[in-house]
Amino acid sequence: MKKISILLLIIVALLGLTACGNKVESTAKSFFKALENQDFEAAKKLSTEEGQQLLTLIEGFAQSADEEQIADMKKTKYEIVETVVEGDSAVVKYRQWNTDKPEAKEDHELQMKKVEGAWKVHFVKDDVQK
């Protein structure tokens, strides 16, 4: 009986960890989808306060861009490669490329934080310059 109880606890713990990882990943996917669509308001809702401030700056640049630059920005795609969760923080490793140059993929990391029980994208100016 004791072995069954321990086994059940291990299974519940693993399911809990898997669920946390999926929530991190689903938040990251939604964030990337918002960026692809240049839906900065949706991206801000998925970001920490610091990320929201940076997105406001990026949104300003996007609004002053010409049609060719906007079309080029919309060609940016993202693919999640790996998600590592450690407590209330996580790192989502992803690949980014332009559809005109699919062979020129770049690997990056997206920092995530749990804020009031919800996973949020946490990035600052230094993250964008990398």
pLDDT at 7 over 50: no
Looking at the chain, the whole-number percentage of residues with pLDDT higher than 90 is 58
Q: What is the pLDDT of residues 24-75, one digit of tens each?
A: 999 999 999 999 988 999 999 999 999 999 999 999 988 888 888 888 888 8
| Domains of the chain and CATH, by start | 2-129 (3.10.450.50)
Average pLDDT, the chain: 82
3-state percent helix, strand, coil for the chain, nearest multiple of 5: 55, 30, 15
DSSP for 5-48, please give it.
HHHHHHHHHHHHHHHHHHHHHHHHHHHHHHHHTT-HHHHHHTB-
pLDDT attached to residue 67: 85
Question: How far, in Å, CA of 67 to CA of 71, rounded?
Answer: 6
Sequence-separated (6 or more) residues with CB below 8 Å from residue 31: 43, 46, 47, 110, 121
